[in-house]
Structure 1
């Protein structure tokens, strides 16, 4: 062992300890490790910083840009509504649908791309189902990885292994050659996540400040059923307003001045006014639902007022306000200030009469729409205290479909080998900006920069392992230590080493280092080198022990995970998959 190898192994141990205990954030640890590699001379400056311009980092950047566009345009909301329509909000059903959908898609496209597509969708589903995102995001990452060995194109690592096999004088991998071991791994892995893994995943609701809570407070508003609405003559149960919009109907107001308690079999009529209760974002989605409108918005709005001129704010009724003890009708906000109140929050309590007839109290929060100058005048007159402006996210269907077509097109270019995956997704990100699906400012603001920094720094570690000979040193020692064991244990030794190296290195780099050594070892021992190459390909996709695999990195920040969470959930899964591979690989590709 040389001094460089010993020093690098020592740095890796220190980094793993810091990653595990998280005394400082993971991206800071990665930056510290990068600096240590430079200052100790283990890696030249140019090669150390090359990771920030690597194809992996650019690929993740481009995928995050496209997924951000899917969120901003509202396509994620449409997909989430479709999934909720079939799975409901029951956690068990939702968990199963997400696992199967992600795994099925990832069998035919890159696991990184599959994780990127479902990240924003699952965040939306978690909010709808009122569960912590941490309970769903790690399963998304693991499900996307579990089908990596089903087809040749499931992951770019398989393509790298196939190319390396050709260089070693072996026939390249066929499209479904890995399936005999890949399908059992996928089935057992998904079953593990459903029955065992989900119980080990921590429930970490994201921390949020006071202003974040304003967006989730419960509002009461009036929803008008329009004459041409498809809901006319349907029952409340058939309308699916509760399921699709997550709104609770607390009262049905029917002309002339009839107030009815909502019942599942009640038939809706044109002109009915529904008093509904829901979160702010769900209330605003009424504007994008055919056949219904927020009643103050449709009946009281100024016809000369353009939508782009208006602003939404949350406003608090303060003490000594002239509004206290009076109704909205008596105050005449529309006539005096040219604003309209769309909804009212009263500490989560239901209001059972028209908003215009409700006596306002100190502490009521109003969702108010109007021109910025009119809203400012409302605040200056001490009528209300404006808490914060509401960023009204609407479904922009033309841009949503445009972003979806671009996303699907870029993945198709990579899937059918028209372009390499990094080039295809970078082209997709460029097209997103070019077609104005999202502005660069919005995309960069939503970027998970911590994940980008972490993977760039860890790519430098992988380069250091190859440059110093550490990876080759470890591989040779595994071959030496297992020389006196049976062929099956020798095969298992390379699986373990591959899994170990894929944690600090990229999957492709680990396979590139180990495959030539494994083939050479098998040839000298008179064994089938193809079995060893297959085992390297399978093991290189078992990246469950740390969040350093790209799919895991994408969920690391949004899920508020800790480094040790992946060890807790991923270690039993890795051991299970190791046993499956140890049994099936020699049977499908005989060692002798």
Structure 2
């Protein structure tokens, strides 16, 4: 459980967009500066993924008001959040994981007996131990993005293009007439099950003089109904005889055919940890459960428009849904998605804001001052108890906020570390590195571990990469007779700064809304990674002398 758990339930989300826009106006340089600074400041005390998810709709709203392409602001948002996570112990879960692993290494009898290491060098990180170098990393990262990165960012997206045009759905929507002898007449949409049997999705019904009716699962189809269906024309032609339907050849899809009354189109982004992850729309019974129709799925810039009921949803997918705003808000409130339409205006438990701030203040007080010798874990527990007692966060939500994947990962890496130690694999690798690279100098070895950690964060999670490299880096430092804490800190910064690809969770969140491509991250992020590397190599030996 991360200390930022109460942030999403106290009504603080989505309230900063108008203020940022008033300060910066339509100036792209000032907007980028404010977005990066705000994201970095928030991410220093919240997970960077949480910060990014919280600000994506805000930044989209700013981009729309300022008439700036979203791609110009969303990557700076994600990079600002990642940079800000290097500033404090609680900035990222990677910092916490490395801090705990370093303390466990310090308890090793083998290290104590063989190297007579000073216990102070192996103690957990303090709350602001990483801050001086972290602030420098943020400053250099912002300077790079403002002077160079802004010119490398693509210009994509914007409000001038409708959602229908963005997803190219016109060619997949047709209007059909239900003939009197059709077996569909008299059945509800749920009973007809057109999406499973015929690979067609009914997204609208026009019945006589009643106009368009929003298609609910319990809506009954009648003879002579005009159905607005989504699917491939080949599938419609294939089944039109057996389904008893006729295609209207003169149909031309217009915006109002998909939006009428209180039925609108929305884009929602699937969050990590959502119940939607790893499941198909069919298995979720999505339409019946939320009274929403998914018209398209945008996955890493590719629009999926057919056989959507069988598509397995993934973290970062953007769904184009049709339905009522209150139903979308319910889906959002359940913690499954982020609504990508600027600030939604909802204020979830706004009256509990004071309690959320108090809980965080109590956590900071004990974690900074170490009052009565209270450890960090107990300081977090005090904050959690305040949130639960005030009902700013409910008990079930507290369980949902726990990152079980990280807990399992840490448990697995503890076993992995034990196996490496008992088999002396870490000692073998450390010996190998010392024999082959010590002649280049201690700083070169430190740089090598930084580069190795950055490389491993691409196919692995940041936490896993750090926990794999850490024991080898510490053993190598001890063999070289240098400060193991400096190596641990360098590994921490390297694992927390993943800009090269959109595989970092914060980057996944902005990949589709920003209409980015894979190479956009390589182009902008590679230079930023080099800049962070230079700062770490320059400052770590100063604050943690080798």
- Normalised to the residue count of structure 1, the TM-score between the two structures is 0.48
Q: Paired residue for 2:131?
A: 179
Do 1:115 and 1:144's aligned partners in 2 also have CA atoms closer than 8 Å?
yes
Q: Using the TM superposition, name which of 484-493 and 473-482 deviates more.
A: 473-482
Gaps of 5+ in 1: 1-54, 214-362, 372-387, 438-451
Query: Which structure has the bigger radius of gyration?
Result: 1
Do 1:482 and 1:493's aligned partners in 2 also have CA atoms closer than 8 Å?
no
Deviation at 1:209, TM superposition (A): 3.9
| Residue 129, structure 1, aligned to residue 66, structure 2 | yes
Partners of 2:492 and 2:96 lie apart in 1 by 9
Partners of 1:587 and 1:130 lie apart in 2 by 44
Deviation at 1:198, TM superposition (A): 1.5
Secondary structure in structure 2 of the residue aligned to 1:205: coil
Partners of 2:165 and 2:125 lie apart in 1 by 54
Do 1:66 and 1:403's aligned partners in 2 also have CA atoms closer than 8 Å?
no
The one-character-per-residue Cα deviations of 1:298-339 (angstroms, maximum 9, x if unpaired) are xxxxxxxxxxxxxxxxxxxxxxxxxxxxxxxxxxxxxxxxxx
Q: Paired residue for 1:147?
A: 84
Q: Report the CA distance shift for 1:413/1:555 in structure 2 as closer, same or farther (over 3 A).
A: farther
Q: Using the TM superposition, name which of 407-416 and 580-589 deviates more.
A: 407-416
Q: Paired residue for 2:157?
A: 205
Q: Paired residue for 1:265?
A: none
Mapping of 1:231-380 within 5 angstroms? none
Q: Paired residue for 2:498?
A: 543
Q: Report the CA distance shift for 1:527/1:95 in structure 2 as closer, same or farther (over 3 A).
A: same
Do 1:115 and 1:141's aligned partners in 2 also have CA atoms closer than 8 Å?
yes
Partners of 2:88 and 2:394 lie apart in 1 by 33
Partners of 1:518 and 1:510 lie apart in 2 by 12
The one-character-per-residue Cα deviations of 1:457-509 (angstroms, maximum 9, x if unpaired) are xx89x98xx7999x979877655542321111011111111111122222222
- Out of 32, 36, 39, which is 1:102 matched to? 39
Q: Paired residue for 2:523?
A: 568
Q: Report the CA distance shift for 1:525/1:84 in structure 2 as closer, same or farther (over 3 A).
A: same
Partners of 1:432 and 1:551 lie apart in 2 by 26
Q: Paired residue for 1:93?
A: 30
Partners of 1:395 and 1:481 lie apart in 2 by 57
Q: Report the CA distance shift for 1:364/1:164 in structure 2 as closer, same or farther (over 3 A).
A: closer
Q: Report the CA distance shift for 1:400/1:202 in structure 2 as closer, same or farther (over 3 A).
A: farther
The one-character-per-residue Cα deviations of 1:222-260 (angstroms, maximum 9, x if unpaired) are xxxxxxxxxxxxxxxxxxxxxxxxxxxxxxxxxxxxxxx
Partners of 1:518 and 1:548 lie apart in 2 by 25
Partners of 2:57 and 2:515 lie apart in 1 by 15
Do 1:139 and 1:193's aligned partners in 2 also have CA atoms closer than 8 Å?
yes
Partners of 2:483 and 2:325 lie apart in 1 by 62
Deviation at 1:414, TM superposition (A): 7.9
Secondary structure in structure 2 of the residue aligned to 1:175: coil
Q: Paired residue for 1:190?
A: 142
Secondary structure in structure 1 of the residue aligned to 2:450: helix
Deviation at 1:574, TM superposition (A): 0.8
- Out of 476, 487, 508, which is 2:463 matched to? 508
Do 1:204 and 1:559's aligned partners in 2 also have CA atoms closer than 8 Å?
yes
Q: Paired residue for 1:553?
A: 508
Partners of 1:364 and 1:511 lie apart in 2 by 50
Gaps of 5+ in 2: 107-118, 168-253, 264-321, 330-342, 368-375, 398-402
Do 1:515 and 1:533's aligned partners in 2 also have CA atoms closer than 8 Å?
yes
- Normalised to the residue count of structure 2, the TM-score between the two structures is 0.52
Deviation at 1:112, TM superposition (A): 2.3
Q: Paired residue for 2:472?
A: 517
Partners of 2:502 and 2:394 lie apart in 1 by 33
Deviation at 1:575, TM superposition (A): 0.8
Deviation at 1:189, TM superposition (A): 0.9
Q: Paired residue for 1:79?
A: 16
Q: Paired residue for 1:401?
A: 350
Do 1:522 and 1:528's aligned partners in 2 also have CA atoms closer than 8 Å?
yes
Partners of 1:561 and 1:530 lie apart in 2 by 38
Q: Report the CA distance shift for 1:186/1:480 in structure 2 as closer, same or farther (over 3 A).
A: farther
Partners of 1:397 and 1:410 lie apart in 2 by 22
Q: Paired residue for 1:360?
A: none
Secondary structure in structure 2 of the residue aligned to 1:483: helix
Partners of 2:166 and 2:379 lie apart in 1 by 42
Q: Paired residue for 1:297?
A: none
- RMSD, aligned CA: 4.9
